[in-house]
Amino acid sequence: MVRCALPCLLSSCVWVLCCSAIWSDERPPNLILILVDDQGYYDLGCYGATEVRTPHIDALARQGIRFTDYYAAAPICSPSRAGLLTGCYPRRVGNESWVHRADSRFGLHPDELTIAELLQQNGYATACIGKWHLGFHEPFLPRNQGFDHYFGLLHNLDPVETVYFDEQGGVPLLRNDQVVARPADPAALTKLYTDEAIRFMEEYQDQPFFLYLPHTMLHNPLGVSEEFRGSSDWGEYGDATQELDHHLGRLMQSLQELQLDQNTVVIYASDNGRGPGRNAGQPIQGHKLSTWEGGIRVPAIAWGPGCGLQSGIESKAVIRAMDWYPTLASLAGIEVPADLVIDGRDLLPMLQGETAFVPPPSRQLSLAIKSRGQAIGAREK
Ligand SMILES: [Ca+2]
């Protein structure tokens, strides 16, 4: 494996010496971060829903750690993703307001060190497969933010965004900078993303990889393939949920067939609470767009029994999307640069059962959240 610089080499050596007994292989674990869009706290079998059947996601929870008190970084898509990928409160990275619509000239500042960049610089193959929503001009695009490979939609498919694409035939589905389909069909996306994710895992099975899989579902407009239409007791929302579950099962099956399941950690989470108008039995108040619990408290699961993560645990620790950044770095044996101010805390000791709650931060956090600011991209020609 090619690694970038001496500090990384040293940290890698230390990691191998310390952790080879924990992991089944002498290489760092593969990391898969599955982000579902607008899935509410109740809306999986393992969180109480009776209107949908989600056996594959429930199995992840059963074999891993299910969090009862996990909070997204924000109650809406773009800030939530900015927090997730930088390990910072969205305000710190200049992305606290609303979402990036198609005419946005802003995005996630290219100077930010995303978790993908950190992993990429340390020998990981990296892919973003799904919805981006963090800027649509060259400095902000996924391949400028640490991802070797991109497949998906940069945008939402709701009318406030698609209106910008009316004269171009609709929102494009992209593979890197090539248009694969236009307009993108929401009913096809969950399968297409999963197919691409499996191809990526097959291609990079011989080196550590980081797969960020931010699904377009369950954001409006919902899309459900023929096979899943009418399959749940919760309309299109439930049908699309069951389709997501089915394809998560395919992904896990592929991990097993590639014999990567013992050396892979899978994180599953939602980017914010369910949208308004979905009135099944959620036990908390509010929905997406609000800072009531229903806007930000969402499902989250960490799975990695082959990598020393606990199995069959329900954790009541209060954790946040920003915590995945240092946790994934820690799993990979990578030091987060000492001069980088982040807000996330390393959860690994808790995931491995050494502590019941989140350990205190190992570094001095800057308590004043001062925005590092935005960059401006060029207008589309
Ligand atoms: Ca969302």
Q: What is the pLDDT of residues 326-368, one digit of tens each?
A: 999 999 999 999 999 999 999 999 999 998 888 666 565 656 6
Which of 121-125, 280-284, 376-380 shows the lowest mean pLDDT across its residues? 376-380
CA distance 2 to 30: 16
* Separation CA 176–CA 14 (nearest Å): 35
Q: What is the pLDDT at residue 364?
A: 56
Give, in order, the Cα–Cα distances in Å from 218 to each of 106, 221, 271. Answer: 25, 8, 10
Q: pLDDT averaged over the chain?
A: 90
Pairing of strands 264-270, 300-303: antiparallel
Q: How far is the CA of 353 from the centre of ligand 1 (A)?
A: 31
CB-count exposure of residue 39 (10 Å: 0-12, 13-18, 19+): buried
Cα-to-chain-centroid distance, residue 101: 20
17 CA to centre of ligand 1 in angstroms: 40
Catalytic residue among 56, 77, 215, 307: 77
Pick the CATH number of 6-348 from 1.10.287.810, 3.40.720.10, 3.40.120.10, 3.50.50.60: 3.40.720.10
Q: Is 77 a catalytic residue?
A: yes
The answer to whether 50 touches 227, Cβ cutoff 8 Å, is: no
Map out the domains of the chain as residue ranges: 6-348
Q: Are 297 and 255 in contact (CB under 8 A)?
A: no
Q: Which of 100, 109, 133, 247 is catalytic?
A: 133
Q: Which residues contact 336 (CB under 8 A, 6 or more apart)?
A: 87, 118, 325, 326, 329, 342, 363
Q: Is the pLDDT of residue 107 over 70?
A: yes
User: Which of 65, 90, 63 has its CA nearest to residue 357?
Assistant: 65
Three-class secondary structure of residue 301 per DSSP: strand
| Per-residue model confidence (pLDDT) at position 368 | 64
SS3 state of residue 121: coil
Distance 288 CA to ligand 1 centre (A): 8
Q: Is the pLDDT of residue 264 over 80?
A: yes
Ligand 1 centre to CA of 271 (Å) is 5
Q: Is the pTM of this model over 0.85?
A: yes
Q: What is the pLDDT of residues 268-289, one digit of tens each?
A: 999 999 998 887 898 899 999 9
219: Cβ contacts below 8 Å, ≥ 6 apart: 37, 38, 77, 131, 156, 157, 158, 275
CA–CA separation, 194 and 189 (whole Å) = 8
> Which tokens in the block code for residue 195?
């197919």
Question: 173 with 153: CB under 8 angstroms?
Answer: yes
Burial class (CB in 10 A: 0-12, 13-18, 19+), 204: buried
Neighbours of ion ligand 1 (CB under 5 A): 37-38, 77, 271-272
CA distance 170 to 182: 6
Q: Which two tokens stand for residue 372?
A: 């590092």
